Amino acid sequence: MKRRRFVCGSIAAVTTLGVAPCGAASEFPGTLAVVAQRVRDDEPFAARNAHVQLPAASVIKLVILIGIAREIDAGSLRWSDTLAIRSREIVAASESFGSVAPGTRASVRALAYAMVTQSDNTAGNVFADHLGFARVNAVAASLSLRQTALRRHFMDFATRARGIDNTTSAADMATLLLGIERGAIDEHTSVASPTSCRAILGMMLRQEDRETIPDGIGRHVTIANKTGVLPDVRNDVAIVDPYGERAYVVAILSRFTPSAQARAYALLRDEAHAIDRLALHAG
C-alpha cells in the first residue's frame, strides 16, 4: 500500500492510517519530541520536534557505552578489565557505586551493566573520564548524531546552572537505536560489532526503570529501553520487539517545569501508547 503523509496538530506521521498520536502532544506542559520508526523502514512513521536539541540526561549513556564497546571490539579493552573509580566521579545517590571508596576498582562489565540498567551516574562518570568527552563526542559525530554532545559530568548541577548541558534530539536517539538493533541482527552498521550490539541490547532489556515507554505501551511485548531523568526532564528511548519482524524504535524526549512533572509523566505514557497503536495498525 502506498504511504501517505498525515499531519495531526504538529505531529507528522508517515503511515497507511490517517491517525497519529496527538493528544499528549497538544496538551503537554512543555516541549515534547518524538521519533518512531520501524527497523525495516527507511523513514519514521511518526515524528514531532525530531531535530530539536534537548537535555539528554542519561540517554547519552548509550553513546558512551558504544565508545566502550568499540574499544572492546578493537581489543584495547576487555569486559573483564577493571577501572579505578576516582573521588570526583562518585555520585552519592548512584545505585551500585554511590558509596564506594575512592580508588575502588570495578570491572568494565559491572560498570556498564549498572550504567544502563540502573542509570548509575558514578559508572557513567568513570566511563566518560576513561574515554574523554572529545572521544564520546567523536562517537556521536561518527554516527551522524548532530544534536548530541557530552559537555559535563552526570549530576554536575553547578555546570548545568551555567547553561552547559549534555544534549541530544529524538532523531539522534532513533538513529542510534536503529544502529544497535540492525547491528544486533548482523546487519552492517557503523555502531559496533554484532557481538557488542547484542551486548548493549541485552543490557537495555534489563533496564529497571520501566515507567514511561514500557508502562505506556502496556501490552505484553519485549522492550529494550534506556531512560534519562532530571528535575525538568524525562526521556525514554526504546527498541520495541527487538529481533522481531515488527520491531520498531521510539525516542521520546521532554522538558517541562518541575511543578508539572506528574502531568508530564502521564502524558508521556499516553504518547508511548499512541505510538504503539500506530505501529501496530500501520502495517
The tens digit of pLDDT for each residue in 36-46 reads: 999 999 999 99
Set out the domains of the chain in order of their start, with CATH numbers. Answer: 4-281 (3.40.710.10)
Give me the amino acid identity at 137. Answer: N
Side-chain-side CA neighbours of residue 231 (13 Å): 7
Identify whether the C-beta of residue 256 lies closer than 8 Å to the C-beta of residue 246. Answer: no
- The pLDDT confidence band at residue 8, using thresholds 50, 70 and 90, is very low
Query: Over the stretch 90-122, which tens digit does the pLDDT of each residue have?
Result: 999 999 999 999 999 999 999 999 999 999 999
Angstrom CA distances, 67 to 22, 118, 223, 249, stand at 36, 19, 23, 21
In this model, does residue 16 exceed pLDDT 80? no
Share of the chain above pLDDT 70, in %: 90
The reported pTM is: 0.92
Question: Which long-range CB contacts under 8 A does 73-77 form with residues at least 24 apart?
Answer: 73/192, 73/193, 73/195, 73/196, 77/108
pLDDT reported for residue 18: 33
What average pLDDT does this structure show over 156-160? 97
Q: Are 14 and 21 in contact (CB under 8 A)?
A: no
Residue 281, pLDDT above cutoff 90 = no
| Residue 23: pLDDT band with limits 50, 70, 90 | low
